[in-house]
């Protein structure tokens, strides 16, 4: 309930449409009220001989001279017009309502999507993508659902009051009798609302889980196919799906049982009214026509009562969705702009780490007391065993994560004082696994700078040694890539990623093992492109193969989250420490691979 004001904020831009829709609702309710009258008139004044009430009597007296047929025709035509009006208004109302409902949902969904993108890596590390997709795509509907429920509730409430008043005019006892079911309805709605929430959360979580499995399977398809694990994944999906379905069925059963309880209560009410009304008619206190109209009204009173009760019931579903969606919206991004964040233009590219400490949630001391400095244009290589913290170290520079203590400085300014947008504009990435969008090659390169011209894209591709192979493709730059660029080889994808980085033309470059997944022949072509890319940029290069970092200005050897050794290639070799060990190991491996005979023992 506390979300309602926030939901209504989404309605604000569409308040005109909403107001119009309310007006139509009232009209629909009024035409609905008129609906039972023709039947009563036909029974009492056409078939029976009762005089018509007040105004109508003087108005129609001249027709009645000509027999009852003109009256019958008039009543039937009037009834037809009322019915047509009622349905016409309903269509218009439906159109207006759908329009602002869909617009509102889109607004809410867009906010969720935007927010999910802004949440920090640390948040996404903990959450599975499926749950987010579920929240953005399905739970956002609840915002409109809640508002939409207001409409039938208002309509029902208006009809309820109107019908009650009219029934009360005809027979106060019957009218009051019809209301004796209200306390029972009230109780059952309350009982239902409090008992269903937990189940709803459970079912929705399970449904989100199913989406997670699909999402994971689609992004891991290569691994799944390679290991022949399709049946395993299918089984996982199926079992999860079955659990969700079982829970959903149990839930729906409860929801329908609740509907049944509401209907039973009103049926008992109808029976009471019918019994007592029949008794009054037998006593001669009610005409048959009056009884018909009263029963029609009582039935009509129960319509809105049932509608209100079931709406409150189904609203629980919306409330739960809404709560989950707002929880997402209320998650504060851990990494945010400082209130007085500075926007910078192109940085020079001097980077300094000062006593940086960092831990992932549940993994203490990922980085311990890391300090180093990079002058503009220098190449800093980061090497060390797997899990040493190389990627983590580099992730602190674009503020994917923030250091627990210590500072990261860019051109002498703490990166936390820069606006995130400005900071990230300074950094281009080439990752181990080139992530490409399922779009054309040109679009993938253009991602580096969205307003780049075709010439600039081609120039970037040429610099990245990618132009030749792209030109050989039948559709050239317009070639559409499959999911994650799957239609190209690893080396080709990597060169597109390099072209993208060229286009971004940032003063700082991060290369995260860009050639580790690529064979040595293609590696040379990429290294050549990377050499060109590194010109004039401060470069951070994570490398497994030490051969690729020989010329670095500074090599940091990471070990268990600490900088174990630092220096140039020669200095580190001379030191005879961890770097020397790693280097010897790789030389030996390289010999084995190329089947070179090892040097004979001296
Ligand atoms: P490297 O790049 O040197 O192989 P990483 O920086 O990726 O090492 O990881 C350092 C350590 O932090 C590893 O033990 C890894 O398991 C852990 N780690 C990496 N990413 C996360 C994460 N998102 N959440 C928790 N722990 C992580």
pLDDT at position 602, please?
Answer: 41
Please give the sequence-ordered ranges of beta strands (E in DSSP) within 333-419, or none if there are none.
Answer: 351-360, 363-374, 379-383, 405-410, 413-414
What distance in angstroms lies between residue 387's CA and the mean position of ligand 1's atoms?
Answer: 6
- Mutation choice for ligand 1 from 382, 392, 395, 513, CB with most ligand atoms inside 8 A: 392
Mean pLDDT of 2-9: 82
Run of H or E residues at 529: helix 520-534
Q: How far apart are CA 212 and CA 132, in angstroms?
A: 9
Res. 351 pLDDT band, cuts 50 70 90: very high
Whether the pLDDT of residue 412 is over 80: the answer is yes
Number of neighbours of residue 54 by Cβ within 10 angstroms: 8
Determine what percent of the chain is predicted with pLDDT higher than 90.
24
Distance, CA of 147 to chain centre = 19
Summarize the confidence of residues 581-595 as an average pLDDT: 79
Order of all β-strands in the sheet with 427-430 = 427-430, 508-512, 538-542, 379-383, 554-559, 562-567
Q: pLDDT at position 110, please?
A: 93
pLDDT exceeds cutoff 60 at 599:
no
Angle subtended by helix axes 4-11 and 69-118, to nearest 10: 100
168-193 per-position pLDDT tens digit: 887 888 888 888 888 888 888 888 88
Q: Please check the confidence at residue 601 and state whether its pLDDT lies above 60.
A: no
Q: Cβ(277) to ligand 1 under 6 A?
A: no
Using pLDDT thresholds of 50, 70 and 90, give the confidence band for residue 59: low
Which of 158-162, 473-477, 489-493 is predicted least confidently?
A: 158-162
Of the two residues 138 and 300, the one the predictor is more confident about is 138
Helix (H, G, I), strand (E, B) or coil at 573: helix
Separation between Cα atoms, residue 294 and residue 269, nearest integer Å: 13
The two three-digit tokens of residue 485, written as one number: 């660029």
CA 520 – ligand 1 centroid, Å: 27
Mutate to test the pocket of ligand 1, among 334, 367, 382, 387 (most ligand atoms within 8 A of CB): 387
Q: Please provide the DSSP assignment of 477-518 as one string.
A: GGPBP-GGGTTS-HHHHHHHHHHHHHHH--SEEEEESTTTTS
Neighbours of 220 (CB within 10 A): 14
Ligand 1 binding pocket includes 237 (Cβ within 6 Å): no
pLDDT grade, residue 378 (50/70/90)? Answer: very high
For 356-361, which contacts have Cβ atoms below 8 Å and span 24 or more sequence positions? 356/393, 356/396, 356/403, 356/405, 356/406, 356/407, 356/408, 357/403, 357/404, 357/405, 357/406, 358/392, 358/396, 358/401, 358/403, 358/404, 359/404, 360/122, 360/125, 360/392, 360/401, 361/122, 361/125, 361/126
What is the Cα 141 distance to its own chain's centre?
Answer: 10
Pick the residue whose CA is nearest to atom 21 on ligand 1. 360
User: If pLDDT is split at 50, 70 and 90, which confidence band does 594 have?
Assistant: low
The answer to whether 415 touches 583, Cβ cutoff 8 Å, is no
- Is the CB of residue 126 below 6 angstroms from any atom belonging to ligand 1? no
Q: How far is the CA of 292 from the centre of ligand 1 (A)?
A: 77
Q: If residue 8 lies in a helix (H) or strand (E), which one and from where to where? A: helix 4-11
**CA 142 – CA 44 distance, rounded (Å):** 48
Measured CA angle at 240 (ends 234, 244), to 5 deg: 140
pLDDT score recorded for residue 108: 92
Structural domains of the chain, with CATH: 4-329 (1.20.1560.10), 351-594 (3.40.50.300)
C-alpha 295/C-alpha 288 separation (Å) is 10
Is residue 75's pLDDT more than 70? yes
Dihedral (C-alpha) 40, 41, 44, 49: value to the nearest 10 degrees?
A: 180
Rounded (10°) CA dihedral 228, 232, 238, 240? -130
Q: Which of 366-375, 511-520, 573-582 has the highest mean predicted lDDT (pLDDT)?
A: 366-375
d(CA 347, CA 500): 19
Q: How far from 18 is each of 96, 145, 274, CA to CA, in Å?
A: 8, 14, 39
Helices (H) then strands (E): counts for the chain? 22, 10
Mean predicted confidence (pLDDT) in 273-285:
87
pLDDT value for 54: 66
Predicted confidence (pLDDT) per residue in 421-468, tens digit = 999 999 998 888 888 888 889 999 999 889 999 999 999 999 988 999
Is 41 in contact with 75 (CB distance < 8 Å)? yes
Q: How many CB atoms lie within 10 A of CB 44?
A: 20
Q: Which pLDDT belongs to residue 584?
A: 87
With cut-offs at 50, 70 and 90, classify the pLDDT of residue 312. Answer: confident
Let me know if 535 is exposed, middle or buried by CB neighbors in 10 A (0-12, 13-18, 19+).
Answer: exposed
275-290 per-residue burial string, b: 16 or more CB within 10 A, e: under 16: eebeebbeeeebeebb
Nearest Cα residue to 292 out of 4, 44, 106: 44
198 pLDDT more than 70 = yes
Q: Which atom of ligand 1 is nearest to the CA of 361?
A: 25
Check residue 332 and give its pLDDT: 85
* Closest to 538 measured CA to CA, from 397, 408, 375, 344: 375
pLDDT band at 120 (very low <50, low <70, confident <90, very high): confident
The reported pLDDT for the residue numbered 66 is: 67
Distance CA 145, CA 589 (A): 63
- The Cα 56–Cα 477 span in angstroms is 80
What tokens does 24 get?
A: 């139509």
Q: From atom 27 of ligand 1, which residue's Cα is the shortest distance away?
A: 360
Query: Could you tell me where the beta strands, DSSP code E, fall in 193-253?
Result: none
- pTM of the complete model: 0.73
The C-alpha angle with vertex 283 and arms to 277 and 285, in degrees rounded to 5, equals: 70
pLDDT value of residue 64: 65
Task: Average the pLDDT over each of 110-114, 333-337, 553-557 and give the range with the smallest value.
Answer: 333-337
Between these two residues, 483 and 75, which has the higher pLDDT value? Answer: 75
How much of the chain is in helix, strand and coil states, percent to nearest 5?
Answer: 65, 10, 25
Pocket mutation for ligand 1, best pick of 128, 363, 386, 402 (most atoms within 8 Å of C-beta): 363
pLDDT value for 457:
93
Which residue is it, tokens 């679009």? 443
- Regarding beta strands 351-360 and 554-559, do their DSSP bridges make them parallel or antiparallel, or are they unpaired? unpaired
Cα–chain-centroid distance for residue 399?
Answer: 24
Is any atom of ligand 1 closer than 6 Å to the C-beta of 544? no
- SS3 for 122-154 is HHHHHCCHHHHHHHHHHHCHHHHHHHHHHHHHH
Locate the DSSP E strands across 136-221.
none
Are 326 and 203 in contact by the 8 Å Cβ rule? The answer is no
For the chain, give the percent of residues with pLDDT over 70. Answer: 95
In this prediction, residues 6-18 reach a mean pLDDT of 89
Q: What is the pLDDT of residue 34?
A: 79
Does the pLDDT of residue 484 top 60, yes or no? no
Q: Is the C-beta atom of 389 inside 6 A of ligand 1?
A: yes
What pLDDT digit, counting tens, does each position of 250-270 carry?
988 988 888 888 889 888 888
Q: What is the pLDDT of residues 548-567, one digit of tens each?
A: 788 899 999 999 989 999 99
SS3 552: coil
β-strand pairing of 508-512 with 427-430: parallel
Q: At CA 404, angle to CA 400 and CA 410, rounded to 5? A: 55
| Tokens encoding 100 | 């602002």
- Share the mean pLDDT of the chain: 85
Q: Which atom number of ligand 1 is nearest to the Cα of residue 393? A: 6
- Ligand 1 contact via 543 beta carbon (within 6 Å): no
pLDDT confidence of residue 55:
64
Cβ count near 369 (within 10 Å): 15
pLDDT at 400 over 80: yes
With a 6 A CB cut-off, is 364 part of the ligand 1 pocket? no
**Can you tell me which atom of ligand 1 is nearest the CA of 382?**
3
Q: What is the pLDDT of residue 106?
A: 93
Structure tokens at 138: 């399905």
Does the beta carbon of 390 lie inside 6 Å of ligand 1? yes
């Amino acid at each position: 309930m506390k979300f309602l004001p926030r939901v209504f904020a989404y309605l604000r831009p569409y308040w005109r449409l909403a107001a119009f829709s309310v007006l139509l609702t009232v009209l629909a309710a009024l035409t609905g009220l008129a609906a039972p009258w023709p039947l009563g008139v036909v029974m009492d004044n056409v078939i029976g001989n009762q005089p018509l009430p007040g105004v109508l009597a003087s108005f129609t007296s001249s027709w009645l001279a000509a027999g009852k047929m003109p009256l019958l025709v008039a009543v039937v035509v009037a009834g037809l017009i009322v019915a047509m009006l009622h349905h016409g208004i309903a269509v218009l109302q439906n159109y207006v309502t759908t329009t602002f409902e869909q617009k509102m949902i889109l607004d809410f969904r867009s906010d969720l999507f935007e927010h999910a993108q802004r949440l920090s890596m640390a948040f996404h590390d903990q959450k599975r993508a499926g749950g987010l997709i579920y929240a953005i795509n399905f739970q956002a509907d609840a915002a409109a659902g809640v508002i939409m429920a207001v409409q039938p509730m208002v309509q029902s409430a208006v009809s309820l009051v109107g019908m009650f008043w009219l029934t009360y005019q005809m027979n106060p006892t019957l009218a009051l009798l019809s209301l004796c079911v209200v306390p029972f309805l009230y109780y059952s709605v309350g009982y239902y609302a409090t008992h269903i929430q937990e189940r709803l959360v459970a079912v929705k979580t399970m449904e989100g889980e199913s989406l997670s499995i699909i999402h994971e399977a689609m992004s891991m398809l290569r691994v799944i196919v390679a290991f022949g694990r399709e049946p395993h994944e299918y089984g996982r999906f199926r079992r999860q799906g079955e659990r969700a379905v079982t829970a959903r069925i149990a839930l729906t059963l409860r929801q329908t049982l609740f509907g049944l309880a509401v209907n039973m209560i009103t049926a008992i009410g109808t029976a009471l009214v019918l019994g007592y009304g029949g008794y009054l008619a037998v006593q001669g206190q009610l005409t048959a026509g009056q009884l018909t109209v009263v029963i029609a009204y009582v039935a009509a009173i129960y319509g809105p009562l049932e509608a209100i009760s079931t709406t409150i019931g189904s609203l629980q579903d919306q409330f739960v969705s809404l709560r989950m969606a707002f929880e997402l919206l209320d998650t504060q991004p851990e990494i945010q702009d400082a209130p007085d964040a500075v926007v910078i233009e192109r940085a020079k590219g001097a980077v300094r780490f000062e006593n940086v400490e960092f831990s992932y949630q549940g993994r203490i001391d990922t980085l311990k007391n890391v300090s180093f400095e990079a002058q503009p244009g220098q190449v800093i290589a980061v090497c060390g065993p797997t899990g040493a913290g190389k990627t983590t170290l580099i992730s602190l520079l674009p503020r994917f994560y923030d250091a627990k203590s210590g500072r990261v400085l860019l051109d002498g300014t703490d990166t936390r004082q820069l606006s995130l947008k400005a900071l990230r504009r300074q950094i281009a990435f080439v990752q181990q696994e080139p992530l490409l969008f399922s779009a054309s090659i040109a679009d993938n390169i253009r991602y580096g700078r969205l307003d780049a011209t075709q010439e600039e894209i081609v120039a970037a591709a040429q610099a990245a040694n990618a132009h030749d192979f792209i030109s050989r493709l039948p559709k050239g730059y317009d070639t559409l890539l499959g999911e994650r660029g799957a239609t190209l080889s690893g080396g080709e994808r990597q060169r597109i990623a390099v072209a993208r980085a060229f286009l971004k033309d940032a003063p700082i470059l991060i290369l995260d093992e860009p050639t580790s997944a690529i064979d040595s022949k293609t590696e040379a072509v990429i290294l050549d492109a990377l050499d060109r890319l590194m010109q004039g940029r401060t470069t951070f290069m994570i490398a497994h193969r030490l051969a690729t970092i020989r010329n670095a200005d500074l090599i940091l050897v990471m070990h268990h989250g600490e900088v174990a050794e630092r220096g140039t290639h020669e200095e580190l070799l001379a030191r005879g420490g961890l770097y020397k060990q790693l280097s010897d190991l790789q030389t030996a491996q390289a010999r084995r691979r190329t089947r070179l005979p090892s040097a004979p023992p001296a």
